[in-house]
Amino acid sequence: MWTLGGYRIIVNGDSGKPEPKVSEHFVLDGTESVFHYFGYGSPSRTLTGHLLDNPDDLDDLVTLCNTATPSTLVTDQGSEGDWIIMSIQYQRIVDIKRQKPVWRLTLELKQA
């Protein structure tokens, strides 16, 4: 069980990708491109999982996204630092064993 900003999420997938800042310039009458490296952006990761507990938790996560509030991510390996929710996709799924809604989530995060 992971938490983001104190909200419990059952995580099924965690992936990331580096984002170097590279520009490509096309030289007139040249045979090759010229690349310029400008550094790299903040680490990013994508979490997929489920939100089961309180139906209000989804609204709270959307508010964290809309306000770009840094939130602490705690995984099964401990604290991963503060992250900002860049986007959130959610889909309600049917679970006849539960009386509260179950949400399937995809969260795009950037390290704060």
Instruction: Report residue 52: phi and psi, to 5°.
Output: -115, -30
Q: Where are the alpha helices (DSSP H) in 33-92?
A: 56-67
Could you tell me the two tokens for 94? 């049917």
Is 0.85 surpassed by the pTM of this model? no
pLDDT grade, residue 97 (50/70/90)?
Answer: confident
CB crowding 4-31: b at 16 or more within 10 Å, else e: bbebbbebeebeeeeeeeeeeeeeeeee
| % of the chain with per-residue pLDDT over 70 | 100
What class is the 2-111 domain? mainly beta
For 2-23, write each residue's pLDDT tens digit: 999 999 999 999 999 888 999 9
For the chain, the structural domain boundaries read 2-111
User: Per residue in 79-91, pLDDT tens?
Assistant: 999 999 999 999 9
